[in-house]
Structure 1
Amino acid sequence: MTAYAVARLLNREVHADLITYVERIQASLDPYQGRFLVHGGAPEVVEGTWDGGVVIIAFPDRESVHAWYASPAYQELLPLRTAHIDGDVVIVDGVRDDYDPASMATAFRRAGAQAGA
């Protein structure tokens, strides 16, 4: 199942280290089949609040995300970003191609019925 590394990046300022990071990140992703879906886009907020930019990187599975993040190649790059940009990074699984959100509603109903019993 596809998994994603999702980042919300704050106080983004161009710095020589960040330029190096951006130049080299794809090479760290390639062995793990990581590919950018969103890279630094400023979101249009339609509900709530959102500070910062968005990065979404897709991987074949959660194991690939973890292997990339822990890899020596990425760990060497990581301080180039974290020294200059604050943010939040999460790893999340996608859904199967046949995903039906109604199945989640059914699970919620079952959980609610069991909690009330």
Structure 2
Amino acid sequence: MNAYAIAHLRQPGTVDPEVYEYMELIQATLDPFEGRFLIHGGRTRVLEGSWPGGTVMIEFPDFAAAEAWYASADYRKILRLRTDHLVGEVILVEGCGPDHDSAAMGARLRAEAR
């Protein structure tokens, strides 16, 4: 089951050059864990609520690979280049399989809630 690192990042002021350095270095930390960008900024249209800032989504082959990447020495070495200059939230989340059925899931959850 694929897993994803998802970040909602906001820039509190002008971009510090260390953010660019982070961007230049991150791919090398992802490669050993088969991480690849699915979303990296890009156009966003907010449909509900507020969403200041940008979105990043990185796909991994599984949750263990995502956790191992985030904990890796190579990523930890560059992490402060982002966290010292951008505000945001980062999560790791497991995806659902290609056979996921939200109707069946809803029915199961409804039955369990009774």
Structures share fold, TM-score greater than 0.5: yes
TM-score (norm 2): 0.93
The equivalent residue for 1:15 is: 16
Shift of 1:111: 2.0
The equivalent residue for 2:113 is: 112
How well do the aligned residues superpose, as a CA RMSD in angstroms?
1.2
Between the aligned partners of 1:70 and 1:112, the Cα distance in structure 2 is 36
Between the aligned partners of 1:49 and 1:111, the Cα distance in structure 2 is 33
- 1:79-98 alignment to 2 at 5 Å? 79-98=80-99
Shift of 1:42: 4.5
- What stretches of structure 2 of length at least 5 have no aligned partner? none
- What stretches of structure 1 of length at least 5 have no aligned partner? none
Letter in 2 for 1:87: G
The equivalent residue for 2:62 is: 61
Rg larger in structure: 1
1:61-80 CA distance string (max 9 Å, x none) = 00000000000110001000
Give the total of aligned pairs.
Answer: 113
Shift of 1:15: 1.7
Shift of 1:84: 0.3
Letter in 1 for 2:62: D
The equivalent residue for 1:39 is: 40
SS in 1 for 2:41: strand
Q: Does 1:72 align with 2:73?
A: yes
TM-score (norm 1): 0.91
Between the aligned partners of 2:94 and 2:41, the Cα distance in structure 1 is 21
Give the % identical residues: 47
Letter in 2 for 1:10: R
SS in 1 for 2:28: helix
Between the aligned partners of 1:35 and 1:103, the Cα distance in structure 2 is 31
Between the aligned partners of 2:11 and 2:43, the Cα distance in structure 1 is 12
